[in-house]
Amino acid sequence: MNIHKEGMLTLAIVFAAVIVINFVISAVSHKPLIEIITVLITVPFFLLIVWFFRNPSRPVIPDENVILCPADGKVVVIEKTFEKEYFNDERWQISIFMSPLNVHVNRFPVNGQVTYCMYHPGKYLVAWHPKSSELNERSTVVIKHTKGQEILVRQIAGAVARRIVPYAKKGMQIQQGDELGFIKFGSRVDIFLPLDAEIKVSLNQKVKGNVDLIAIWK
């Protein structure tokens, strides 16, 4: 299993904490049952953190005609929305909720150039809250596709997620499937598409980044 670079420090700290906790309990309790219970709690917890930071290999053959899912999770919103941060017009909004058990690597859905990046500090409402897209801590990236149209991808922190790690920088030339960023411990990704895009996902569908199509260009 590949572990994402964002998890290395966290895993080292958690591993050290697990070792210390088990050593202390063993040294002071002298009760095998308590020691076993401690192991049964701390080891699965560490393995859960390892699972969270997994980074499966998902190579992509770039396709100029499709828009790939930028994240793993469940589609919780498909609607026409007035996007007011950058476009100031109506767009398709598709939102993908990532539970703590999903892969949390976010990926560029198309080839192109980054034309806009903006980080916004904010609240930590639950990620499926209707206002989380506007009020929560978030990072917005706009990509100009090689065909000329632009799409917007927004990473949104949730009630548990407390750190967004964006990799995009204005002016970057990016490839479909490359890493856009990482959000730690449960979150949401919104993508805003032109109204003439043909949506290929459905509400409550479980999707995988770099695997499922989110839309097709017209």
CA distances to 24, 26, 35 from 30, rounded to whole Å, are 10, 6, 8
CA distance 203 to 107: 21
Report the run of H or E that residue 25 belongs to, with start and end.
helix 8-29
DSSP strand E in the chain: where? 66-68, 73-83, 89-98, 105-107, 112-120, 138-145, 150-157, 163-166, 173-174, 179-184, 187-193, 198-199, 206-207, 213-216
Rg from Cα positions in the chain:
20
Residue 84, classified by CB atoms within 10 Å of its CB into exposed (0-12), middle (13-18) or buried (19+), is: exposed
Any idea which residues carry the catalytic annotation?
A: 187
Say if residues 105 and 210 touch (Cβ distance below 8 Å): no
Amino acid at 51: W
CA distance 210 to 207: 9
